[in-house]
Structure 1
Amino acid sequence: MTHETAQSLIDQLDSLLDDERCALLDGDIEAIGALLKRKEGIIDAMNAQKPSDQADMTKVQGKVVRNQALLDGALQGIRTVAGRLAALRRVRRTLETYDKTGRKSAISDVIDHKVEKRA
């Protein structure tokens, strides 16, 4: 491959990383998934080049690090939300109280969702 092709791939990756950053900041998970497939294709094409044909990657290295930090933050946020939703489900299923000595006790399945029909 020629140097122009390698540079073209780097330019494509650079543009894609900018798009990925915007999607991360907007919280557009679907766009991030679509961009991932494009990014994989560009990286595969870059890996197929001979080492002597690979262009300087320092231009996009900072963007890759920046986007990785944004992805890590997004994943942490998703984990936090999932934990909070699990806690809310747990609260709906149990009632936690304290006895006169201060020990916590839980009463599970307080709410019975059955309907009894009588004739």
Structure 2
Amino acid sequence: MKLFEQMCEEKIRQAEQDGVFDNLPGKGKPLELQDLSQVPEELRAGYKILKNSGYLPEEVQLKKELVNLDDLIKACNDPDEKQDLKRQRNEKMLRFNQLMEKRSIKKTSAFKKYRNKIRQKFT
């Protein structure tokens, strides 16, 4: 194993000397560490992978859309457009509730533990 580690370190040193790392985003700036203390330890690796790939679970995407629709409804003055926005919101809320029921997220202990924090983020 030590030989493998030495080979890796040598490759990293060589890449550094060749300037491979010179154009990386954030070079010379401190790392932005994420606070994952609210995410259960067994879910953190998966959470980071999904987050770094830009993936949002459907229920999170729906919640964001619901918040946007709520803001649009509050700002809308046209009664017909407001009615259409409310219809869209109801459809998304129905889909969200179906997902929650289907996935039984409401019943898992991890969700119960963090439900209030999630609600605070979206309200």
Q: TM-score range by the shorter chain?
A: 0.3 to 0.5
Q: TM-score, normalised by structure 1?
A: 0.34
Higher normalized strand content (fraction of residues): 1
Query: Considering only CA atoms, is the larger Rg found in Structure 1 or Structure 2?
Result: 1
Q: Which has the higher contact order (CA 8 A, sep 6+)?
A: 1
